[in-house]
Amino acid sequence: MEDKKKELLEGYTAYAEEKGIALNSNERIVGAVIEGLLYNEEQKGAKYCPCRKVSGNKEEDEKIICPCVYHLDEIETMGHCHCNLFVSK
C-alpha cells in the first residue's frame, strides 16, 4: 500500500507542476486524500475524488476521477480544489 501511495503522490506532484499548480503543503490533508483515492479505487473501481459522491452513473462519475474536471476552475476561484489536494502556486 505504501508503494501505491508514493507512486500516486509522485504522479500528482508531476501533474501539478505540469499544470502550474501545486500539491497542498499540508501533508496530513494530502495523505488523507491519497488514502481516500486508493480506497475508492479498491471499493468503487476508480480514483474518484473522496470529496464527491459517486452516483453510479458511469458517464457522470468519470468527471470526478482525480484529477476531476472541476479542479482547475476551483483552484482559480477558491485557491484550492474542493478536496484540497491541489492548490494555486
Residue 38, all three cell numbers: 486508493
> Has this prediction a pTM greater than 0.85?
yes
pLDDT(6) > 70 = yes
Burial 37-51 (b: 16+ CB within 10 A, else e): bbebbeeeeebbbbe
pLDDT tens, position by position, 30-89: 999 999 999 999 999 999 999 999 999 999 999 999 999 999 999 999 999 999 999 999
Question: Which CATH number describes the domain made up of 2-88?
Answer: 3.90.460.10
Task: State the pLDDT confidence band at 1, using cuts at 50, 70 and 90.
Answer: low
